């Protein structure tokens, strides 16, 4: 296997492991003690979606389930700072999410973006946000989807030397 394929496999494994920590069914759990940043993970996954159909489908299913806890304003800021390639690869994910969501949450997208031809499996169960990787979602469920919740998460994760 050449270096490019090894790097691609490592990136896919990383994304899969992080989504598993958010609750997607999976066996790779290499980030059990990490807080997962869902908005950054969405952009990262969008860049890999064309390489792994299962990752694309299951991450979208999870995203639909956690939609009320996603910080769309933050997603817009991250998207604005992203490269044009990342922005372009996010477009089909945004179009698919917006087509399928049953919530008030809408992702930013251009009008010309086409949605993926998939239907969610609805296998994802968000549970009680009891995994360490879900701490940001847990904070948002308690404090609201605001910068205050993300700041509380950062303080908790930083340890006692900041308190």
pLDDT computed for residue 159 by the predictor: 67
151, 124, 121, 77: CA torsion to nearest 10: 10
* pTM (2 d.p.): 0.88
Mean pLDDT in the chain?
Answer: 87
pLDDT computed for residue 133 by the predictor: 85
Cα 25–31–32 angle (5° rounding)? 75
pLDDT computed for residue 109 by the predictor: 84
Measured CA to CA, the distance from residue 127 to residue 153 in angstroms comes to 19
pLDDT computed for residue 163 by the predictor: 53
Measured CA to CA, the distance from residue 98 to residue 96 in angstroms comes to 5
pLDDT computed for residue 153 by the predictor: 85
DSSP secondary structure, 37-82, as one string: -HHHHHHHHHHHGGG-HHHHHHHHHHHHHTGGG--HHHHHHHHHHS
Q: What is the pLDDT of residues 87-127, one digit of tens each?
A: 999 999 999 999 999 899 999 987 778 888 887 777 776 67
- For residue 39, pLDDT over 80 is answered with yes
Residue 22's pLDDT band (cuts 50, 70, 90):
confident
Count CB atoms within 10 A of the CB of residue 4.
Answer: 8
- For residue 68, pLDDT over 90 is answered with yes
Domain residue spans of the chain: 3-162
């Amino acid at each position: 296997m050449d270096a490019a394929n090894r790097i691609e496999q490592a990136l896919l494994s990383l994304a899969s492991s992080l989504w598993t920590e958010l609750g997607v069914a999976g066996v790779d759990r290499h980030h059990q003690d990490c807080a997962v940043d869902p908005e950054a993970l969405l952009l990262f996954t969008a860049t890999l979606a064309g390489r792994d159909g299962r990752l694309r489908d299951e991450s979208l299913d999870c995203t639909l389930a956690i939609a009320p806890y996603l910080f769309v304003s933050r997603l817009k800021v991250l998207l604005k700072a992203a490269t044009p390639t990342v922005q372009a690869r996010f477009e089909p994910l945004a179009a698919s999410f917006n087509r399928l969501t049953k919530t008030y949450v809408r992702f930013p997208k251009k009008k010309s973006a086409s949605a993926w031809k998939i239907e969610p499996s609805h296998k994802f169960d968000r549970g009680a946000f009891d995994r360490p990787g879900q701490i940001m979602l847990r904070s948002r469920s308690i404090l609201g989807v605001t910068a205050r919740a993300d700041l509380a998460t950062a303080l908790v994760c930083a340890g006692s030397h900041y308190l």
